Structure 1
């Protein structure tokens, strides 16, 4: 008997290695081999790309580094993403376990009293039964790789969840940096507005005195008051924005943030400039692209499971043990028994359900291909936008800095001529407003440049490691 079973068992193991999963081939990237290289774009510098540069190397403000570190420990969205990874890992382990038979041991016993009316002797009787078995139940022989295909699908979903966690961490680092920079910029705008309001109030007092002696007109006085009230409105706006910025930062960090943290000026060297590398680097570095490819491979594996469903499936139930009417005789000679119960299921008619399932799996793969290609195109666009922002913001900031300097000269000359009575207060008020507006714009442009650089760093796949040698 054992000799006759051996070829069947061997054949089952051999066929168990079969797979109907299509050979996976990575789709060609629908992007150019180089980033745009016109005069509007900064060159894609050579050197370690953004994904290889840790966030501590990218962000040079010590306070910002502390906030990012705190957010990686306390942010709830990142915590949920990490728990999702563990959940998908558990699901993969559950699916993988179906490849192997589940062996279980069972023991049971019963005692029953029968009344005299139900016994053949006419006397009441007590019957006993005890059994102990070891075996497997409904184990499917994976002859055509259905279970292995499902296990491989689950493994790719697990890997995609890990990339999703990395992507969440990358986005968190960038969000904390942008929120912090916005908070600092609004603080500087608030300080600028406070200083400007103080200057406007001094000018208003001077204009009121000159109006009383008949030197300044009512129009000049009215314009001076308009400037003061406009500055007060701006002051309230920036006070609100600073408070809201701090609230947003606290939400990202996951804990309270002090409003008197030491800071570096926005114009200081807060960020490192990372090289962009080549577009092909994105395919191996950006977590969202890797996530999309794992999902594509998962959909490809599901096709193998849908194909295998067309073929017969065999499941086995087998056990061996002993039984006895007395507990003391449970393991005595002659009490042993066994059961071997194979079952085969052959799909004959299912009204096209299996064909529809296969078509659905193929369509899902095509959808995953499109999503994968879109993630590549999106990454290419984001890096290209970052490179043109790097180039044009540098030019814009240089021009705006020169404009602020020109307005400072204009304000200084207008103030001197107004005080010695050469020009009216209208020219002086115009110089004040122009200088205030130019300084505001310079701060806003500097913030835009910094956030664009952070976005480029994120687009390159950076921000998910603490430094280049140690993963966080």
Structure 2
């Protein structure tokens, strides 16, 4: 091709491009409704008593604040072996691969092809005699290069959408880690509570048996009647039933911990848990901590990614402009392939405008818009659920602390009654049965106190989960937002 003919070809393509750009303005792009609005969770949060400030920070390894090395080891084991976390890591890897694929669209594509074909040449084709009707070997070695200009931002939108999905996958993984740590810690606390209750119940059974034995002796001596003997015997079967219930709970909780830590039931068959101390959590949950929840971060990332998907779907209605070039060798007969006369090369621009898409592009755009609306609705639901969840957990924690104060008073009163009964027994004013009854009442109040202690720790675990477990969204670093709903980028218009 001479320089003059190349110039003419380029000019013709440029004129064609101008014509196509004019036609693009008339492309049948459907008119879409405006996307939904993301909720401002701050208003609802303040109405429910959440504070607007930095609040009390949560450590990412929050379970270590309970100071139980055995619990720490179980959580660490679960983090390493949990199947749900392995699934989350696989999803991150898949999202990362999609991001790499989107990034590759912004770079030139290069290829090298080589082929050898043994072929009989038709006698009625373009090849003259002696080639026509002969069997020949065709050799081809060719290198190609192509690049598509991103005039309308499609590649950029696809890359941003892929990055958003990757951030969502990473936030989902953080939510999975939080869920596993939460489940392990709650199961451990429940096991500790059940085992401690079992020990107190055993003490209560022993006291009831002592009391029953005293009443039986008094009945044989004619001091008590049969009705009093039956009343002393009545609580024993129920206490024994409670002990069986606690034993079942402990077996189920050990099995749950074994499953969460990736081991068989035998691995936790002898696990003895200790009820952790409750944390000193005095402040109300704050908006900035609530906004760091990993599920909210994932929902925000999906809203932003869906907006970019809509943008990418819209750009598919516009022309695509690409440039391709190739250079190589082609010959009939391998002995001729690498001679200078076998050289071939070519290249030029290409334009494409999807004028007749049979509705595929319009359907794709409407589908992307629907996905965006669904992502916004999912985000709004997550915001409302997060605000309610944090408020509920904090309200429960406050109530449990008040109940603990009242229960502590009951335990102190039972201790005092037991002490007075011992003094009166030593002074000969009451019999041994009065001391046993006072001790039984004391153990009953201690069991109530133990339940409230376990419920308080459980409520603190729930509140930590509700506040995101110390998760820090990389998209909001280094300056964390003080809002439960930092405005996701949903695009100003879809029309």
TM-score by length of 2: 0.77
Does structure 1 residue 129 correspond to structure 2 residue 138?
yes
The 5 Å alignment of 1:401-412 reads 401-410=408-417
Aligned equivalents of 1:93, 1:281: Cα separation in 2: 32
Shift of 1:65: 1.4
Secondary structure of 2:340's aligned partner:
coil
1:216 aligns with 2:224: yes
Q: Give, in whole Å, the separation in 1 of the partners of 2:396 and 2:417.
A: 30
Is the CA contact (8 Å cut-off) linking 1:35 and 1:384 kept in structure 2?
Answer: no
- 1:96 aligned partner: 103
Match of residue 341 from structure 2: 334
* Partner-residue secondary structure (3-state), 1:31: helix
Shift of 1:321: 1.0
Alpha-carbon shift at residue 412 of structure 1 (Å): 5.7
Q: Indicate how the Cα distance of structure 1 residues 158 and 5 shifts in structure 2: closer, same or farther if over 3 A, else same.
A: farther
**Does structure 2 retain, via aligned residues, the 8 Å contact 1:58–1:273?**
no
How far apart, in 1, do the equivalents of 2:358 and 2:332 lie?
51
- For 2:288, the equivalent position in structure 1 comes to 280
Q: 1:461 aligns with which of 456, 468, 481?
A: 468
2:194 match: 186
Supply the distance in 2 between the matched residues of 1:464 and 1:70 (Cα, whole angstroms): 20
CA separation of 1:329/1:84 partners in 2, compared to 1, >3 Å: closer, same or farther? same
**Hey, what's the Cα distance between the residues in 1 that align with 2:115 and 2:314?**
42
Task: Note the C-alpha offset of 1:54.
Answer: 3.4
Contact preservation (8 Å) 2:323, 2:348: yes
RMSD: 4.0
Task: Map 1:357-376 to 2 at 5 A.
Answer: 357-376=364-383
Matches within 5 A, 1:222-371: 222-255=230-263, 257-260=267-270, 264=274, 266=275, 269-271=277-279, 273=281, 278-283=286-291, 285-314=292-321, 318-340=325-347, 344-350=351-357, 353-371=360-378
Deviates most, 157-166 or 404-413: 404-413
Contact 1:60/1:270 (8 A) holds in 2:
no
Q: Decide which of 61, 65, 71 is 1:64's aligned counterpart.
A: 71
Correspondences of 1:442-453 after superposition (within 5 Å): 442-453=449-460
Q: Could you tell me how far apart the structure 1 residues matched to 2:225 and 2:52 are?
A: 58
Give yes or no for the alignment of 1:197 onto 2:208. no
Structure 2: 5+ residue stretches without partners: 22-28, 30-34, 473-495
- Per-residue CA deviation, residues 377-433 of structure 1 (Å, 9 max, x unaligned), is 2222222223323322222111112112323444565688799685896x8887566
Cα deviation, 1:358-384, whole Å, max 9, x if unaligned, reads: 333333323322322322222222222
Q: Is the CA contact 1:390–1:453 (under 8 Å) kept in the aligned structure 2?
A: yes
Deviation per residue, 1:175-208 (Å, 9 max, x gap): 1111111110000011111111111112122222
Tell me how far apart the structure 1 counterparts of residues 53 and 202 of structure 2 sit (CA, whole Å).
41
Deviations 1:332-366 (A, max 9, x none): 22211134476544333456554443333333323
Q: Which moved more, 1:395-404 or 1:292-301?
A: 395-404
Q: Does the 8 A contact of 2:192 with 2:272 survive in 1?
A: no
TM-score relative to the length of structure 1: 0.81
Provide, for residues 263-294 of structure 1, a one-character-per-residue CA deviation record: whole Å limited to 9, x for no partner: 54x3x6353537556313432x2211111110
Report deviation, 1:35: 4.7
